[in-house]
């Protein structure tokens, strides 16, 4: 497919010495009003260098540019050079590309660009999988698909929080307040109950904290009873986590959590010592980061026990040795910025040239209407409950509006869960979110169900035309009859898909895909409104059906990149 924007940047660069073709490419805009052209180049940036007013620069450029045969007109409008592309050629270039690739449009044919490790979800064992865990899980899953769409081989790692003093607390709480039968019957909800109870009781009996630390020390020294309880708590937790992952359609390539690195940390600590990076401070081992204006990175406590940084440094070395990654991406909350900045710097001080390939992707926090999420206080909303509620709500809407819909349960699952995922993805990930049932389950406006419904509408049109949804339609398209504004508008949206995927990867921002999907759905619905499709005239009908098919493929692929299914009926 011809990249008209890039070609225009080439035309402009022949007349602008101070900017490269890539610089110009990034500056070219798409006018909001199609009457002002298909693309526009702003001249404000050239004013200082050329010592002329931007409108004068734009006028001179418009008059002196060599017009390519695919450019129908060049106009100067205020401080812009506006380009009008031959409409039939524009539509042809784009539709031919999309229909040639079908459901592979926007997706790399091979995964040969190297490995990308993505660390996401990573819940703590024996704690509930609540709404706060949704963000890391769905953002990481989406980034996995986005990087694979660009040709990278991704390795998804669920770095489970399966080690630490909290297990000592849980063992103490289990022995005091629970039983095997209660945990087997109630699962994580029982573990949460006794964990909250421990913290309440420890306020009055601080000796319980020391008892918990003692149990964790037993775990680290291999105590059979303590480790057996730890493994059991882990099995109970993983069984419940898996139910949620199955509902979300999320998978991982590795579940190596913190405990996996227990026997590997000594080598990492010794390497830090051998390289002269370790200092002793009040019995603890630290790496000073004064030259970076950061607090020291704590490697071991004064009792010799390890910390998150110890395990993360060890894990990064293991992942580099095992996967030889191009990037290793960590999807965690914004509050962990300092932690990652510290240990990333330690890796750099260890003289590893791959330190720059470590990427922290921070996201904003999720709060509830009425207070902050807290496991210790029990103030949580279970993610499984949210997903089930969304499915129930969708099922009720289907029963009300389309009770004869086939596969109602399947559609309710796809739309309800898709609504929850899309709601999380639609805004920039750095933004804090207040969880709201009303917003998440609102099925109107710029939502996942709106995009899914648009996909289903496109499928319905194709089915009514007697087409097989699993086969790419082969039409003899008359591009001259599909050069109206609505058709040109949607084909421009289709053309942007590849660049949106690339931008989403470069910025680690799935919201680019979500917003693109809404824009494409809106453009399709305008096209659908303005252009009767199943008309009698065969060539016109097939030409318009080609636009419908191209949209169907692209909407489905955009939803796929977000981890959302695309039902063919709603």
Catalytic residues: 127, 130, 133
Half-sphere CA count of 9, side-chain side, radius 13 A: 17
Return the sign of the alpha-carbon dihedral for residues 441, 443, 448, 449: positive
Which residues fall within 8 angstroms of residue 274, CB to CB, at 6 or more apart? none
* Alpha-carbon torsion angle 190, 192, 194, 199, nearest 10: -170
Residue tagged 């997706």 (tokens): 107
Strands annotated E in 343-392: 358-363, 366-368
Strand order in the sheet with 71-77: 39-42, 80-85, 71-77
Q: Tell me if residue 231 falls in helix, strand or coil.
A: helix
Long-range contacts of 241-244 (CB under 8 A, 24+ apart): 241/123, 241/129, 243/384, 244/129, 244/383, 244/384, 244/387
User: How far is it, in rounded angstroms, from Cα 276 to Cα 4?
Assistant: 55
**Inter-residue contact 244 to 387 (CB < 8 Å):** yes
Which residues fall within 8 angstroms of residue 53, CB to CB, at 6 or more apart? 47, 79
Q: Measuring CA to CA, how many Å separate 564 from each of 312, 425, 559? A: 31, 11, 5
The DSSP line for 459-493 is HHHHHHTT--TTS-------GGGS-SHHHHHHHHH
- Of 48, 40, 32, 50, give the one whose Cα is nearest residue 78: 40
Dihedral-angle region of residue 201 (phi above 0 means left; psi in -120 to 50 means alpha; beta otherwise): alpha
- Of 160, 306, 156, give the one whose Cα is nearest residue 219: 306
Strand pairing class (278-281; 284-287) = antiparallel
Query: How many CB atoms lie under 10 A from the CB of residue 206?
Result: 8
User: How far is it, in rounded angstroms, from Cα 320 to Cα 175?
Assistant: 41
User: How far is it, in rounded angstroms, from Cα 357 to Cα 353?
Assistant: 8
Strand pairing class (278-281; 153-157) = unpaired
User: How far is it, in rounded angstroms, from Cα 522 to Cα 144?
Assistant: 27
Strand order in the sheet with 115-119: 153-157, 115-119, 327-333, 358-363
User: How far is it, in rounded angstroms, from Cα 388 to Cα 416?
Assistant: 8
User: How far is it, in rounded angstroms, from Cα 552 to Cα 520?
Assistant: 10
Residue tagged 């990573």 (tokens): 122
User: How far is it, in rounded angstroms, from Cα 331 to Cα 518?
Assistant: 25
């Amino acid at each position: 497919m011809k990249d008209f924007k890039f070609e225009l940047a080439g035309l402009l660069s022949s007349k602008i010495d101070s900017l490269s073709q890539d610089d110009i490419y990034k500056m070219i805009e798409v006018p909001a009003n199609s009457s002002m052209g298909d693309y526009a180049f702003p001249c404000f940036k050239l004013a200082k260098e050329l010592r002329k007013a931007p409108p004068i620069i734009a006028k001179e450029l418009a008059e002196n540019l060599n017009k390519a045969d695919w450019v129908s007109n060049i106009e100067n409008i205020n401080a812009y050079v506006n380009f009008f592309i031959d409409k039939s050629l524009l539509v042809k270039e784009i539709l031919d590309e999309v229909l040639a690739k079908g459901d592979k449009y926007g997706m790399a044919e091979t995964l040969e660009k190297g490995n990308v490790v993505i660390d996401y979800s990573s819940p703590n064992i024996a704690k509930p999988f609540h709404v706060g865990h949704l963000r890391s899980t769905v953002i990481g899953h989406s980034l996995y698909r986005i990087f694979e769409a660009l040709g990278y081989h991704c390795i998804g790692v669920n770095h489970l929080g399966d080690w630490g003093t909290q297990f000592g607390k849980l063992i103490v709480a289990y022995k005091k307040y629970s039983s095997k039968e209660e945990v087997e019957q109630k699962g994580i909800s029982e573990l949460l109950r006794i964990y909250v109870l421990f913290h309440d009781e420890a306020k009055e009996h601080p000796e319980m904290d020391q008892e918990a630390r003692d149990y964790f020390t037993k775990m680290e020294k291999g105590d059979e009873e303590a480790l057996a309880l730890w493994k059991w708590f882990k099995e109970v937790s993983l069984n419940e986590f898996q139910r949620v992952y199955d509902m979300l359609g999320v998978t991982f390539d590795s579940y190596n959590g913190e405990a996996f690195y227990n026997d590997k940390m000594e080598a990492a600590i010794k390497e830090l010592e051998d390289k002269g990076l370790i200092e002793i401070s009040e019995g603890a081992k630290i790496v000073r980061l004064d030259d970076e204006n950061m607090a020291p990175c704590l490697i071991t406590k004064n009792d010799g026990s390890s910390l998150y940084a110890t395990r993360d440094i060890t894990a990064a070395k293991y992942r580099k040795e095992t996967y030889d990654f191009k990037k290793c991406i960590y999807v965690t909350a914004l509050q962990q910025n300092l932690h990652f900045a510290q240990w990333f710097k330690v890796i750099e001080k260890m003289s590893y040239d791959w330190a720059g390939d470590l990427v922290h992707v921070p996201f904003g926090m999720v709060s509830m209407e009425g207070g902050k999420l807290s496991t210790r206080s029990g103030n949580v909303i279970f993610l499984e409950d949210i997903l089930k509620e969304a499915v129930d709500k969708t099922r009720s809407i289907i029963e009300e509006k389309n009770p004869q819909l086939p596969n109602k349960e399947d559609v309710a699952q796809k739309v309800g869960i898709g609504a929850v995922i899309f709601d999380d993805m639609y805004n920039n990930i750095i933004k804090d979110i207040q969880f709201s049932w009303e917003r998440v389950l609102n099925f109107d406006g710029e939502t996942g169900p709106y995009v899914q419904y648009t996909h289903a509408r496109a499928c319905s049109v194709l089915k009514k035309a007697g087409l097989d949804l699993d086969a790419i339609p082969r039409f003899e398209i008359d591009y001259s009859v599909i050069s109206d504004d609505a058709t040109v508008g949607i084909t421009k949206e289709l053309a942007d898909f590849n660049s949106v995927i690339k931008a989403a990867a470069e910025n680690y921002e799935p919201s680019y895909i979500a917003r693109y999907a809404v824009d494409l759905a809106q453009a399709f619905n305008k096209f659908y409104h303005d252009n009767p499709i199943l008309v009698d005239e065969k060539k016109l009908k097939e030409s318009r059906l080609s636009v419908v098919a191209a949209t169907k493929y692209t909407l489905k692929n955009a939803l796929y990149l977000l981890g959302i299914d695309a039902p063919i009926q709603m």
